[in-house]
């Protein structure tokens, strides 16, 4: 089975590619659009994007697998990325993982039974000065504490239930 975006989205991609000197330079934006469309970037989507950009699928896969923001597998509706690199660990990241395990009943790499949350621990979120850092969806939270984490999750649950 092959995947394909709508004609409208493919037109947007053609316009987007026109803004770059080379097709391959649009890969970040095209992968982002593909992820928005398909939820994650599995092998079929990588093949599709490779075709759109005239790139080898191995090149597309290397980009997808390098960056945390590209999802290779399905995740829950809200992805929690918790940094467990040095700065964040020294500032309490382990306690946040334990807190999430108690609150949501999941550990790193797991998804809640209701598919609401997936927890990943990641190498660095690029905001080390704000350690410990957590991203929920596309929002970054710095100087995170268990209490702030509860507030952030409550806010997400309210919009998720809406
Ligand atoms: S070490 Fe945690 S954000 Fe960089």
Can you tell me the mean pLDDT for 126-143? 96
Centre of ligand 1 to C-alpha 42, Å, is 27
pLDDT of residue 162 exceeding 70, the answer is no
Calculate what percentage of the chain has a pLDDT beyond 90: 93
Q: Check if the beta carbon of residue 144 is closer than 8 Å to that of residue 128.
A: no
Can you tell me the mean pLDDT for 147-155? 96
Determine the pLDDT at residue 69: 85
Give the mutation target among 69, 85, 97 for probing the ligand 1 site: most ligand atoms within 8 A of CB.
85
Centre of ligand 1 to C-alpha 84, Å, is 7
Structural domains for the chain? 7-66 (1.10.10), 78-161 (3.40.30.10)
Count the Cβ atoms, other than its own, within 10 Å of residue 32. Answer: 13
Determine the pLDDT at residue 80: 97
Determine the pLDDT at residue 108: 95
pLDDT of residue 86 exceeding 80, the answer is yes
Give the mutation target among 120, 131, 141, 144 for probing the ligand 1 site: most ligand atoms within 8 A of CB.
131
- Locus of tokens 């790499």: 109
């Amino acid at each position: 089975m092959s995947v394909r975006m709508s004609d409208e989205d493919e037109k947007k991609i053609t316009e987007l590619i026109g803004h770059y000197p080379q097709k391959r330079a649009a890969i970040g934006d095209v992968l982002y659009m593909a992820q928005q469309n398909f939820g994650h970037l599995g092998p079929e989507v990588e093949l599709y994007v490779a075709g759109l950009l005239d790139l080898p699928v191995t090149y597309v896969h290397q980009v997808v697998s390098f960056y945390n923001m590209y999802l290779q597998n399905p995740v829950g509706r809200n992805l929690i990325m918790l940094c467990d690199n040095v700065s964040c660990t020294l500032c309490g990241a382990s306690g946040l993982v334990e807190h999430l395990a108690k609150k949501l009943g999941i550990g790193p790499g797991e998804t809640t039974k209701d598919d609401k949350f997936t927890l990943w621990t990641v190498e660095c979120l690029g905001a080390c000065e704000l350690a410990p850092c957590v991203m929920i969806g596309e929002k970054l939270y710095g100087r995170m504490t268990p209490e702030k984490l509860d507030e952030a999750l409550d806010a997400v649950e309210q919009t998720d239930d809406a």
